[in-house]
Structure 1
Amino acid sequence: MENKQAPIGIAIEKNYDSEFCGSIPLHLVNLIQPHGVLLTLSTQDLRVVQASENVPHLLGLALEDVLGQPLANFLPAPQIEDVLVKIQESSHQEKIPFTLTFTRQGEPIQFTALAHLKDTYILLELEENPAAAAQDSFMALYQQIKYITSLLKQATTTQTVSQISVEELKKLTGFDRVLMYQFDPQWNGIVIAQARELDMDDYMGLRFPASDVPKQARDLYLSNPYRLIPARDYTPARLIPVINPLISRFTDLSDCNLRSVAGVHLEYLVNLKVQASMSLPIIIDDKLWGLISCHHKLPKNPSYELRSAMELLSGIISAQIAAREKEKNMELRAQLRDIHAQLLEQLYTSPTFADGLVKEKDPLLKLLNITGAAVLYEGSVWTSGLVPPHPSIKELVYWLKRNKSDKTYATDTLPSQYVRSQEFKDLASGLIVLPINAEEGEYILGFRPEVIQTISWGGNPNQAIQMEADGKRYHPRNSFASYQETVKHTSLPWLPEELEAAENLRSAVLEKIIKERY
């Protein structure tokens, strides 16, 4: 069998995650993007102990006039009260933006502020907030969010939710391309939905290796509502002084929207042929399920109001995807329960449990979604469907006795684990094992055939990271042209619901055996 696009759970032999990239401390960069200002404040008196070097440009204040001074020197008393309230709130609920007004060259300038409370200091992010455009007013955004939410509620599958999401986010934001990535079990991302301008490259269905979003970056998405790069060609602003005097080390910028980006990622945007990007996490059950990635050919800095709307929508989209996945899983579980009931009836109306498992129109094959089954018990072998030759099954059992425990075991890459199974890979590239009495070599075995998959990557994943001769500096791949890889010696992946059904069946069989004996 050959499929154009591999399922999300297909086993990929090589691990494309990068320990090197994943070990880079992205939160200790001491640099921010220059479209905002970052102030580090002491918790006791709101004294400025660190400031980004672009303070003169955005606040109109000299660095030496700001450092060491209380924030109250630059803001009216009511706003200082507001800062104190927001700091107190940030310790026990989500961070809520608020407005602060600084005076620059005699004119009042409004900034959107976010406070991040740490153990010994406070980070205050400031972004200039010009009057919101009409389309970014609260009422206009609220109406659009309500409309998009109503569309999402009508979607019946994860794929439909994803496609509606990218299309509507593109309309809402004006980004040139919006993609929905879903992570596979090895953290490679596959594009499952796309909306784009026709002159933008088509990435639908392509996989991107895990090193494109290494572990360190993935972890930060769990604490940041979005990642925005308004213009890739920026000059980062340093924090002055370099070392935070309150802790005598670099300041932790994990929570900061303004945190600067690794140079390799900016190169990555060059190779993608985009000037601006924004990514929003899809989080399900406190785990990163995927990303919404927005690209623009020119620099683009969405208003804070629009970003907030996107943040809200990413949470709604996450909830809708979670609901569709749950519905799909519940439907599958219900189907498997019905088949399990049929199987139980066969078990208890047959002379032995083996006779009950391998009858014609075998529900065992349906229950585990397998094409062949073998029952080995008390020296006999019963089979159903398409199975390897009996001598091969017995050799497989010897291998299982030597290498596997007495727990239920499943693999979708048997030939890579048991080399001799390559001789019958077309019948058994996937295997599920339900031990009855492992010491005696008594098992229920289920077989899945090889499914040859053609995976289309966004560029050659083997060239995802290109190290320089010094072994320290590195670059991303410079081409995202479709690169096809054929995956062999694998079956369709085992679903959690199928493994659960297998364990329930094993319990029923062991109970039946005990009743037969005693």
Structure 2
Amino acid sequence: MNRPETGMDAVDLTNCDREPIHIPGNIQPIGFLIAVGADWMIQRAANTEPYLGIEPIGLLGRPLHDIFLPHALNSLRARVGSLRGDDAVERLFSVKLISDAKSFDVAIHFSGRSIIIECETARGDEIEVSSLVRSMITRIQSTETIENILREGARQVRLLTGFDRVMVYRFGHTGSGEVVAEALEPGIDSFLGLNFPASDIPKQARQLYLRNVFRIIADVNDEPKAIEPVTQTEPLDLSLSLFRAVSPIHVEYLKNMGVRASLSISIIIDGKLWGLFACHHYSPRLPSFAERSAAELFGQMFSLVLESRLRSEINAYEEKARRVADRLMAAAARDTDRLTDAQWMGDLVLDAIPADGVGVFVEDKISLSGLTPNEDQFRRLANVLNRGEASQIFTTNRISEILPEAEEYSSRAAGLLAVPISRRPRDYVVLFRGERLRSVRWAGNQEKEIEYGPNGARLTPRKSFEEWSELVRGEAVPFSEAEMRVADTLRSTLLEVVLRLTEAASEDRRRASEQQKLLISELNHRVRNILALIRALVGQTSREVDDVGAFINTLDSRIQSLARAHDQLTADQWGPARLEDLIATEAKAYFQEERQSVRMNGPDIAIMPDAFTVLALVIHELVTNAAKYGALSDSGSVDVNWDVGEDGALTIDWREIGGPAVMPPKRRGFGTTVIDNSIPHELGGEAQTFYKTAGFEGRFVIPGRYVVRSRGKEIHKAVPANKAGGEALITGKHVLLVEDSALIALDAEDSLRELGAAEVYLAANNGNAAKVLEERQIDLAVLDFNLGRENSSPTAEKLMNAGIPFIFASGYGGEDVMPERFQHVPMIVKPYGTEQMGQALAELAVQKNPEAGSD
């Protein structure tokens, strides 16, 4: 009879979780166990007398070589050397351990600082384990569905082990399990479809199933054998033992079922315990050592096959979801109002994630479709969701657990999957699933009785395993892990849609702040990449030049090349940029007056962004080398011809004509490395260079995936010469420089003075600039357009009204950065140097005196 608790510890289903089943202090009597130290002296032993004729206590402290034959000990030592990893176990078959005795099958593994040796009498039935398992797995692989794989797996295990019942037992997310496949001896009761509570396989048992994937219980009526000495203070950890004794609670559990022998093989998917092959026999049964080894190997191979098939199904499902995300993005781009339309959202999203209703909460506005809570209930639910992480999806199959009042509408919406699509304020797309009234078939009433004994109160195993049903209310079908991953993909898509909406309404400061937060991760990534590239340029440039001035000039030109390439890409919203513009931009810096030094000929094609920067560095190094050592250093010229082959690949031919004699470089510098290696290494293309006496030549092939046609017309152009004339505009003049970055301001001041400015006045904002204009006579101004929280438009207005010429500087690039009334003002794109400043001043000079720009 049960007694009430009287000041004792509470007894609940977690008591079983605390049972130390890995240190029982006993083994099953199916063999004997010896534990030795690193010196191979016997520390512990169990059940040795029936096999060795020596009681366990009589072995303690003796060297193992006194007991085992020399060749046997050598074999054991060799296998210990083969153990890899904490949970490794090595096996030996039919080993002669002692004279005048039968051979033994042996398993050996580490347990802490001890070596555990487990031996059982060999049956002489060694089988070719790998060949047997290969044929078993071949049958598994020939099945088409997951259900058939599980059913065939149970059948193969039963054929191998001979057990009366073999079940595939799958764990749920709560730890409970269900029999999802089965193979039976005729006349044996079926457990197919029955559910078992999580307490039937307690937490520590599930952890052992991950470490030791095979477990045998030969006879529940066997008397366990103690490990001597039983008074040892530190128990021996038998987590990996083949003979580990059985928990008394589990023995009682099996006896209640009428089971005499059991066997389990873990099914591990993605490093987690997915399920078990659980085998029952109604009489004592011990498969041979070889059969058990084959069964263990089969379980490991079966897990791999099942994992591969599950992943294939998930990949196919997620591919479908990606198509849904693409359609969502395309549709939202055409009509942004659809983002707040729950019915439209449901028609699109529910094709990938089945649900009964959709709720959308955007900018405090609610839209509902299908089976959902009403608007007031949904608003209160959104407040509860706000307590969670802003960047993570959330799911529950019982909303009432997080909001008790949700019990009122559980028939319409019992479970949910919430997809946050912004951070602040919180906006959501929520998928609802209605209540699933279901009768769960349990293997007996899962409640356990409390009994009191010499060890205090404990929960006894269930005494009946007849089918028992429970009606589950207020609960929805859980969203699967695959559906959760799809939801995360949709979240990213919706975030991008929100980002585009934010960009379209940039005048709203709150949306601008939201845009900044959504972009911060990508910005950090790109900044790190840029810094890494700059660091590489600095390091490589420093190795190839010894003079400080040459180092600065070379490094500056390479950084400018990257900046120009980036500006060309951003001008087209990070889309493909024209090859002609790239070559023209890189070549302008080296032209002389009234000369056409670089001639281009080829179709109008554009380069994809992921290849454009690479090609820009290559063209920059070609132009630089030509200007220093080749045709552009003298009176020669360069012909650049390109064409697109049938396979779409772009071939660029670079030919220098009329310059000094060319000799191959004596050492390989960074520029040569960029020219020879960048395109093959980063783009998978080709690069060939020829140092001919008449002039350097190169051929470069860009794979077709990086090439698109721009407008389909042919080009026959020469790059125009650069114009001068800015010197008169700045020489001896007083210049106002408005720049909020101190470092950039100092660098720009040096450039202005180098160009001839007599005095440069620095201002960090419009207020400081206004004071300078009041107190000083200013002839010219350079304005950074973006000044942190303001822009320099007010200062530009004052300069324009006063008739003072000025140029803009910006880190964004593109003509759309400037207000329309300032579109005519020359602009320098950061980072810039003396050369870029001079070119902008020359353009400004031409605007003031158009005749100065004519040839």
Q: TM-score, normalised by structure 1?
A: 0.88
In 2, Cα distance between equivalents of 1:388 and 1:225: 46
Name the structure 2 match of 1:261: 246
Larger CA deviation: 77-86 vs 227-236: 77-86
In 2, Cα distance between equivalents of 1:359 and 1:475: 54
Structure 1 residue 122 displacement after superposition: 1.4
| Mapping of residues 54-93 of structure 1, within 5 Å | 54-63=47-56, 65-92=58-85
Structure 1 residue 269 displacement after superposition: 1.4
In 2, Cα distance between equivalents of 1:31 and 1:469: 21
| Mapping of residues 293-312 of structure 1, within 5 Å | 293-312=278-297
Q: Structure 2: which amino acid aligns with 1:152?
A: I
Name the structure 2 match of 1:366: 351
Structure 1 residue 361 displacement after superposition: 7.4
Larger CA deviation: 344-353 vs 201-210: 344-353
Structure 1 residue 393 displacement after superposition: 2.6
Name the structure 2 match of 1:18: 13
Query: Structure 1 residues 178, 504: closer, same or farther in 2, change over 3 A?
Result: same
The higher relative CO (CA closer than 8 Å, separation ≥ 6) is in 1
Within the candidate set 91, 114, 117, 1:97 is matched to 91
Q: Deviations over 1:41-94 (max 9, x none)?
A: 1211x1112211x21112122445422211111222222111111122224583
Structure 1 residue 394 displacement after superposition: 3.1
In 2, Cα distance between equivalents of 1:339 and 1:172: 46
Name the structure 2 match of 1:49: 43
1:316 partnered with 2:301? yes
Structure 1 residue 316 displacement after superposition: 1.3
Name the structure 1 match of 2:398: 413
Q: Unmatched 5+ residue regions in structure 2?
A: 1-10, 507-855
In 2, Cα distance between equivalents of 1:180 and 1:361: 37
1:510 partnered with 2:510? no
Kept after mapping to 2: 8 A contact 1:405/1:438: no
Name the structure 2 match of 1:467: 451
1:129 partnered with 2:131? no
Kept after mapping to 2: 8 A contact 1:17/1:214: no
In 1, Cα distance between equivalents of 2:120 and 2:450: 36
Residue aligned with 1:308, SS: helix
Q: Deviations over 1:342-398 (max 9, x none)?
A: 111110111425356643872033243222223233453333333333333334334
Kept after mapping to 1: 8 A contact 2:336/2:501: no
Query: Structure 1 residues 382, 302: closer, same or farther in 2, change over 3 A?
Result: same
Q: Deviations over 1:461-510 (max 9, x none)?
A: 122x5433674344211101111112211222122333333322432332
Q: Structure 1: which amino acid aligns with 2:18?
A: S
Larger CA deviation: 436-445 vs 471-480: 436-445
Kept after mapping to 2: 8 A contact 1:43/1:122: yes
Within the candidate set 454, 466, 475, 1:490 is matched to 475
In 2, Cα distance between equivalents of 1:437 and 1:91: 48
Residue aligned with 1:359, SS: helix
In 2, Cα distance between equivalents of 1:346 and 1:17: 54
In 2, Cα distance between equivalents of 1:230 and 1:367: 48
Larger CA deviation: 505-514 vs 249-258: 505-514
In 2, Cα distance between equivalents of 1:77 and 1:294: 39
Larger CA deviation: 347-356 vs 222-231: 347-356
Residue aligned with 1:445, SS: strand
Q: Unmatched 5+ residue regions in structure 1?
A: 1-15
Kept after mapping to 1: 8 A contact 2:45/2:57: no
Structure 1 residue 438 displacement after superposition: 6.4
Name the structure 1 match of 2:736: none
Name the structure 2 match of 1:290: 275
Within the candidate set 99, 112, 127, 1:138 is matched to 127
1:115 partnered with 2:108? yes
Structure 1 residue 304 displacement after superposition: 0.5
Larger CA deviation: 382-391 vs 465-474: 465-474
Name the structure 2 match of 1:6: none
Structure 1 residue 322 displacement after superposition: 0.7
Q: Structure 2: which amino acid aligns with 1:25?
A: P
Kept after mapping to 2: 8 A contact 1:346/1:356: no
Query: Structure 1 residues 424, 196: closer, same or farther in 2, change over 3 A?
Result: same
Kept after mapping to 2: 8 A contact 1:243/1:251: no
| Mapping of residues 79-478 of structure 1, within 5 Å | 79-92=72-85, 94-98=88-92, 99-103=94-98, 107-132=100-125, 137-139=126-128, 144-244=132-232, 248-354=233-339, 358-359=343-344, 362-401=347-386, 403-407=387-391, 408-436=393-421, 440=425, 442-463=427-448, 466-468=450-452, 471-478=456-463
Query: Structure 1 residues 440, 286: closer, same or farther in 2, change over 3 A?
Result: closer
Name the structure 1 match of 2:27: 32
Query: Structure 1 residues 66, 386: closer, same or farther in 2, change over 3 A?
Result: closer
In 2, Cα distance between equivalents of 1:415 and 1:268: 34
Query: Structure 1 residues 347, 59: closer, same or farther in 2, change over 3 A?
Result: same
Q: Structure 2: which amino acid aligns with 1:170?
A: R
Residue aligned with 2:223, SS: coil
Kept after mapping to 2: 8 A contact 1:398/1:441: no
Query: Structure 1 residues 143, 85: closer, same or farther in 2, change over 3 A?
Result: closer
Query: Structure 1 residues 400, 303: closer, same or farther in 2, change over 3 A?
Result: closer
1:481 partnered with 2:481? no
Kept after mapping to 2: 8 A contact 1:230/1:276: yes
Residue aligned with 2:290, SS: helix
In 2, Cα distance between equivalents of 1:29 and 1:233: 16
In 2, Cα distance between equivalents of 1:158 and 1:122: 41
In 1, Cα distance between equivalents of 2:212 and 2:64: 25
Q: Deviations over 1:13-64 (max 9, x none)?
A: xxx99321111111221101111101111211x1112211x21112122445
Kept after mapping to 2: 8 A contact 1:230/1:300: yes
Larger CA deviation: 80-89 vs 303-312: 80-89
Name the structure 2 match of 1:4: none
Name the structure 2 match of 1:9: none
**Higher-Rg member (1/2):** 2
Structure 1 residue 436 displacement after superposition: 4.4
Query: Structure 1 residues 501, 121: closer, same or farther in 2, change over 3 A?
Result: closer
Kept after mapping to 1: 8 A contact 2:13/2:459: no
Kept after mapping to 1: 8 A contact 2:38/2:115: yes
Query: Structure 1 residues 249, 363: closer, same or farther in 2, change over 3 A?
Result: same
Q: Structure 2: which amino acid aligns with 1:216?
A: Q
Query: Structure 1 residues 397, 124: closer, same or farther in 2, change over 3 A?
Result: closer
